[in-house]
Amino acid sequence: MKASADPSRSLRAPGSKPSPSFASFIGALRGTRAARAPTQSLRSRGPSLGIEKKGSADALFDQRLRVLSAIEHMGKPWVATLFGHCLGGGLELPLACQCPRLLRSSRGRARGILVSDMLVHYRTVVYESDRWRGFPFRAGDIVITTPPKCGTTWTQRICALLVFGTPELDRPLTSVSPWLDMVTRRREEIVAVLEAQTHRRFIKSHTPRDGIPWRDDVTYLCVGRDPRDVALSWDNHVANVDWAAVFGAREAAVGNDDIADLIAQGLPPTPESERDRFWAWVADPTPPTQVPSSLLGVLHHLASFWEVRDRPNVVLLHYGDLEADLEGEMRRLAARLAIDVPEERWSDLVRAATFEEMRRDADRMAPGVTESIWQDNARFFRSGTSGQFRRLFGAGDAERYEARILELADPALAAWAHCGRS
């Protein structure tokens, strides 16, 4: 991305400010949690092997294979936990001494390997990627996997319009296209809902590619957005959460006993100003496996699909492209999904996918409405526009932001993340 001294090219405000109710709920959960002795993990753990090298997907895969070989030579069915900058966190590989079979795959490619055994574990207070393990996929499934605030709900709505061929929905969008990773509903309940569906399924996720099982007969949609706008939208998003409802639903679904473990180091300080929160979001070094949103996390997620963008079952969309040519992007997606839409229906479908129509129907379009997790459903659809970050940038901020981008992403990925295909 070319540096620009124009403050309008700068980033937007940041890592969202947790509401007071979030802090109070966390404090209550930590304070009342019954003390207990450390428990043994369900998975027996073996040695921790460090990986610090940044690299391409092929290099990362080679690292994994070397670890597999090393563990095989130990002669024990241990679980290796890898920590590294290029992974952003832990990667668990339950081997059971099956390395010879696992290693029968071409260099740098995961085909033929037990990919479900190589999933990176992403876990935060609100979602848990391990819920994808053992998920009963069907041929033709669509997985909508985006960083938060990049157009997930917009893409879900578009998929609903293409799959059903009508703007009408008989239930909330979150019930038609549930978020499997979200821990405010029991996994068994979500899987049952999806198993009962007879139409082509489209499932929401905020888990990067390395945390989701890979199938060649499943289409993976990844949506990018200018990270500066993501930061601004995330700030509004967190401020709009009803934390009492979230933790109440979480308690009913999975319990809250693990909260103290997830925030063992305490809550990070929350800057008072929007501008300071923005820069905290940009600079946040927390591994993407442990934090729901940061600049590092957004670029990590997008990179995981950028690396495989030429595969026939991977579709990259961009928020800016959807804004610029909604009908053209919907037609492109329909073609990639092999969905034939009668010409006379397009105008109605495109109109239903506009921001104004979705906001008007926020009580059915917003995610999590079945658990009432928002203070205001309509506020979830805050503005639907790009570039509002510009008001935060002053002299030198564009250069400061670009320097951080160049630390985290290669130029081609950075250009697409900020500008899309246009």
Close Cβ partners of 34 (under 8 Å, ≥ 6 residues apart): none
Q: 153 in a domain, yes or no? A: yes
Residue 310 in tokens: 């030429």
Domain that holds residue 320: 122-230+295-419
pLDDT score, position 266: 63
pLDDT score, position 66: 52
Q: Name the stretches of the chain with pLDDT < 50.
A: 1-21, 25-26, 28-55, 58, 65, 68-116
* Amino acid at position 326, single letter: L
Question: How many distinct structural domains can be found in the chain?
Answer: 1
pLDDT score, position 205: 97
* Amino acid at position 325, single letter: D
- Give how far Cα 58 sits from Cα of 63, 81, 118, 316, 417, Å: 9, 19, 15, 20, 22
* Amino acid at position 6, single letter: D
Q: 395 in a domain, yes or no? A: yes
pLDDT score, position 17: 41
Q: 367 in a domain, yes or no? A: yes
pLDDT score, position 381: 66
pLDDT score, position 238: 82
pLDDT score, position 19: 44
- From the list 171, 187, 223, the residue with the least C-alpha distance to 370 is 171
Catalytic residue numbers read: 206
pLDDT tens-place string over residues 260-281: 888 766 667 788 898 999 999 9
Model confidence, pTM: 0.73
Q: 94 in a domain, yes or no? A: no
Q: 311 in a domain, yes or no? A: yes
- From the list 131, 337, 299, the residue with the least C-alpha distance to 208 is 299
Q: 25 in a domain, yes or no? A: no
Q: 1 in a domain, yes or no? A: no
How many angstroms separate the CA atoms of 12 and 387, rounded? 8
Q: 10 in a domain, yes or no? A: no
- Burial level of 137, CB count in 10 A (0-12/13-18/19+)? middle
- Give how far Cα 416 sits from Cα of 227, 240, 330, 393, 411, Å: 11, 29, 19, 21, 9
CATH code of 194's domain: 3.40.50.300
